[in-house]
């Protein structure tokens, strides 16, 4: 595969990442890979360059090099191409397999479709992966935030985020209403007056590949448990089916001594289940109950896999426990491809002020490095960021909740992290 690019340049000093085995996520990573980067909208113009410098420093300190390929989307895409998601950008992420992006703005209720969702669906990044762990020195509302160390695997292409919906007042929504009422017999829920209708598709393929990705991650990272989170007691044929298909993956695709499926775990405590020693347990929990269990029994959960909307809510709630989305990393996994991105939004009112916290994008880079097999570089970034924050050198969002902290700009925070990378390496 090789694309011709219209308005971006492919770095001459870098090499493309090659696919060895797509089904098993095997990539051939050169020492100087070409990695596309989108700085992003709003505060992306601040945190994007800052994170890029930190990731370059960590790569260099661990014997690697990155040939960055600047690509554009959102505001920068409109400025350069007069479109939100240029073909150059999609093709670059597709061709070079590993990429990172800052936040992109999505209007609420109107305007263009989410560019984040468009990228995930267009390139089949079907697993949104969000690690949640505590960094020493970050202010948190919890008594023991250090107990939080979990990874959310959120299905990325289905559920309500598939975007299959019809607007009130249109001919299409009335056709759907008529079909649901007259043909399917659900007239008791179709109230008179204006209505908006959406469809919540959950498929066997989408469910199984998401759960498979979560189990494989648990095995590769020495994690003990995968929890399937759903609302299957109410939505039996969508979220309930997600759970059933997920359990089938655990039961049928892995040896019993490697992965142990606990299908009755919804109504049992962990102590009631006899788990083979060393095996990853796959259990299930209801989504509403998980919102309290994450706070009351934080240390009991490890890897969570769930449909899209549940994953959106629960990962944000988990992020709040460790200090907020300003430090929450994320990435989108496909088959032998990754697009790293922070969980937070673009915060337009802070754009261009050199104030925003770049930690989430830096830590998203750690997740990208881990996917590439550069764990040493990822660990170095995480350690350097933690050292910087714990020493009291922080951006405004953390400083306002800390005593005796030094408030620094986005650029100054990145420089402090790079200094700690040099000290720690």
pLDDT digits (tens, 9 = 90+) for 389-419: 999 999 999 999 999 899 999 999 999 999 9
Kindly report the CA angle at 16 between 206 and 411, in degrees rounded to 5? 90
Residues making up the binding site for NADP(+): 105, 357, 396, 400
Banded pLDDT at 111 (limits 50, 70, 90): very low
CA distance 93 to 418: 27
Binding annotation for Mg(2+): 312
First to last CA, the chain: 37
CB atoms within 10 A of CB 157: 22
Residue 3 pLDDT grade (very low, low, confident, very high; cuts 50, 70, 90) = confident
CATH class given for the domain over 1-140+324-425: alpha beta
Q: What is the pLDDT of residue 179?
A: 92
Exposed, middle or buried, 102 (CB in 10 Å: 0-12/13-18/19+)? Answer: buried
**Secondary element (H or E) of residue 80:** helix 75-81
In the annotated binding site for D-threo-isocitrate, the residues are 114, 116, 120, 130, 154
Query: Confidence band (pLDDT; 50, 70, 90) for 153?
Result: very high
Per-residue confidence (pLDDT) for residue 160, from 0 to 100: 87
Of residues 89 and 113, the one with the higher pLDDT is 89
| Mean pLDDT on 331-352 | 93
| Integer Cα distance of 358 and 62 in angstroms | 21
Number of neighbouring beta carbons within 10 Å of residue 167? 11
Which pair of structure tokens corresponds to residue 30? 């050169």
Q: Where exactly are the structural domains of the chain?
A: 1-140+324-425, 204-321
Q: Are 54 and 418 in contact (CB under 8 A)?
A: yes
**Active site positions, annotated:** 161, 231, 288, 312
Binding-site positions read 105, 114, 116, 120, 130, 154, 312, 357, 396, 400
pLDDT at 110: 46
Mean of the pLDDT values across residues 54-72? 97
CB under 8 Å to 308, separation ≥6 — which residues? 128, 154, 155, 156, 157, 158, 159, 160, 161
162 vs 311, higher pLDDT:
311
Q: How many helices (H) and strands (E) would you count in the chain?
A: 13, 17
Contacting residues for 290 by C-beta, under 8 A, at least 6 apart: 227, 229, 301, 304, 314
Instruction: Write down the mean pLDDT value for the chain.
Output: 92
The CATH architecture to which 204-321 belongs is: 3-Layer(aba) Sandwich (3.40)
pTM of the model: 0.92
The pLDDT value given to residue 109: 47
Q: What is the pLDDT of residues 177-222, one digit of tens each?
A: 999 988 888 877 778 889 999 999 999 999 999 999 999 999 999 9
- DSSP code per residue over 89-147: HHHHHHHH-EEEE------SSSSSPPHHHHHHHHTT--EEEEEEE--TT---SSS-GGG
The pLDDT of residue 135 is above 80: yes
Q: What would the mean pLDDT of 378-384 be, rounded to a whole number?
A: 98
Residue 107: its pLDDT value, please? 55
């Amino acid at each position: 595969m090789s694309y011709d690019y219209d308005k971006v340049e492919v770095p001459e000093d870098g090499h493309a990442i090659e696919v060895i085995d797509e089904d098993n996520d095997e990539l051939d990573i050169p020492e100087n890979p070409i990695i596309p980067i989108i700085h992003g909208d709003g505060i992306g113009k601040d945190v994007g360059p800052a994170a890029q410098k930190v990731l370059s420093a960590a790569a260099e300190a661990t014997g690697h090099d990155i040939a960055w390929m600047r690509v554009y989307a959102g505001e920068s895409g409109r400025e350069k191409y007069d479109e939100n998601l240029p073909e150059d950008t999609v093709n670059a992420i597709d061709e070079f397999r590993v990429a990172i992006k800052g936040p992109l703005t999505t209007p609420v209720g109107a305007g263009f479709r989410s560019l984040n969702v468009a990228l995930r669906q267009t390139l089949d990044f079907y697993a949104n992966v969000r690690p949640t762990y505590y960094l020493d020195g970050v202010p948190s509302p919890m008594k023991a935030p250090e107990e939080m160390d979990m990874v959310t695997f959120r299905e990325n292409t289905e559920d309500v985020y598939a975007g299959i919906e019809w607007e009130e007042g249109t001919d299409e929504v009335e056709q759907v209403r008529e079909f649901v009422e007259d043909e399917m017999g659900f007239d008791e829920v179709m109230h008179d007056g204006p209505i908006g209708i959406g469809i919540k598709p959950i498929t066997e393929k989408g469910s199984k590949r998401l759960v498979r990705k979560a189990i494989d991650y648990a095995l590769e990272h020495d994690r003990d448990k995968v929890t399937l989170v759903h609302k299957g007691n109410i939505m039996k044929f969508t979220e309930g089916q997600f759970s059933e298909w997920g359990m089938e993956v655990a039961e049928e695709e892995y040896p019993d001594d490697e992965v142990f499926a606990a299908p009755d775990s919804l109504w049992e405590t962990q102590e009631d289940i006899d788990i083979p020693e060393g095996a990853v347990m796959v259990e299930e929990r209801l989504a509403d109950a998980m919102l309290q269990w994450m706070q009351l029994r934080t240390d009991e959960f490890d890897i969570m896999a769930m449909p899209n909307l549940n994953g959106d809510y629960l990962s944000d709630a988990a992020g709040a426990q460790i200090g907020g989305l300003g430090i929450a990393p994320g990435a989108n996994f496909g088959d032998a491809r990754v697009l790293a991105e922070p969980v937070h939004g673009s915060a337009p009112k802070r754009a261009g002020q050199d104030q925003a916290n770049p930690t989430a994008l830096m830590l998203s880079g750690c997740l990208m490095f881990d996917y590439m097999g550069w764990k040493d570089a990822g660990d170095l970034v995480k350690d350097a960021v933690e050292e910087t924050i714990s020493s009291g050198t922080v951006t405004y969002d953390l400083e306002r909740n800390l005593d005796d902290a030094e408030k620094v700009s986005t650029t100054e925070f990145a420089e402090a992290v790079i200094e700690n990378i040099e000290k720690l390496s």
